[in-house]
């Protein structure tokens, strides 16, 4: 959300949180300027990607038809035993 506020120049943003296929899914959509052709994976976006990978999940950042950005972050609900 901070990237949307700082960079997207969006007028509308939606956040969805739910469970699908035994995954916790967070999806953020905006109508801003979209994803740069060569997005830098620094800071917050890189951190989201790293955390998804660490938890055997997925991170997808794409442009939307008509402009804007779609971010989807998902991790399995069952992670097994922790120590």
Q: Which fold has domain 2-76?
A: Heat Shock Protein 90 (3.30.565)
Q: What is the mean pLDDT of residues 56-78?
A: 93
Residues 73 and 61: beta-carbon distance below 8 Å: no
Residues 28 and 34: beta-carbon distance below 8 Å: no
Q: How wide is the angle at C-alpha 52 spanned by C-alphas 3 and 81, nearest 5°?
A: 140
Looking up tokens 């296929």 gives 21
- Report domain extents, the chain: 2-76
Q: What is the mean pLDDT of residues 63-73?
A: 91
Share of the chain above pLDDT 70, in %: 86
In whole angstroms, what separates CA 3 from the centre of its chain?
11
Q: What is the pTM of this model?
A: 0.79
Residue 61, number of CB atoms within 10 A of its CB? 17
- 81 pLDDT more than 70: no
For residue 40, give both structure tokens. 């830098």
């Amino acid at each position: 959300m901070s990237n949307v506020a700082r960079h997207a120049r969006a007028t509308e943003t939606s956040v969805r949180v739910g469970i699908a296929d035994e995954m916790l899914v967070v999806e953020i959509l905006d109508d801003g300027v979209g994803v740069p052709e060569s997005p830098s994976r620094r800071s917050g976006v890189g951190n989201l990607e790293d955390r998804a990978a660490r938890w055997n999940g997925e991170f997808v950042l794409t442009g939307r038809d008509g402009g804007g950005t779609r971010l989807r972050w998902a991790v399995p609900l069952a992670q097994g035993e922790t120590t």
